Amino acid sequence: MMTIRSAVMVLALTVAVVPNVALSGDEGLVSDASELGYRAGAMAYCKDHAGEDSGKYSLLAISTLKDLDKLSSGDKAKALVVKKSVEKKGEHLGKKLDRDRCESLRKMYGAGELLDGKD
């Protein structure tokens, strides 16, 4: 029987080694779980490293964590692995999270939530 720690390690290695390219044309390049993980990690990183602008990222970070709670346990584990990786590396999809990148992502994710009807 595999322990939880072993399962998380296998999942982390899978996420790190296997690209998140969809096999069918109907799916995006990144799964919903991975996308939420990238968003949650970026907003957490930016909130902690934005200085006086940290409040701008807090609401999006909280909103994203609520979305993570809605995922199945497997998808939630995948999203949390991606989140921790983004926070640790300070990179979002291969680009360094500096002040300009954080601001750009905040605007993009904030606009996406408005279009989805979320507050």
In a domain, 36, yes or no: yes
The C-alpha atoms of residue 23 and residue 31 are separated, in whole angstroms, by 11
Q: How would you write the pLDDT of the chain (119 residues) with one tens digit per residue?
A: 556 666 555 555 454 444 443 333 344 556 889 999 999 999 999 988 876 777 888 888 888 888 888 999 999 999 999 999 999 999 998 899 998 999 899 888 887 555 455 44
| pTM more than 0.85 | no
Check residue 11 and give its pLDDT.
54
Q: How many domains does the chain have?
A: 1
In a domain, 81, yes or no: yes
- Contact call for residues 50 and 95 (beta carbons, < 8 A): no
In a domain, 73, yes or no: yes
In a domain, 39, yes or no: yes
The C-alpha atoms of residue 97 and residue 66 are separated, in whole angstroms, by 23
Check residue 37 and give its pLDDT.
93
In a domain, 99, yes or no: yes
In a domain, 100, yes or no: yes
First to last CA, the chain: 43
In a domain, 11, yes or no: no
Of 95, 110, 98, residue with least CA distance to 56: 110
In a domain, 5, yes or no: no
Domain that includes residue 65, residue range: 30-115
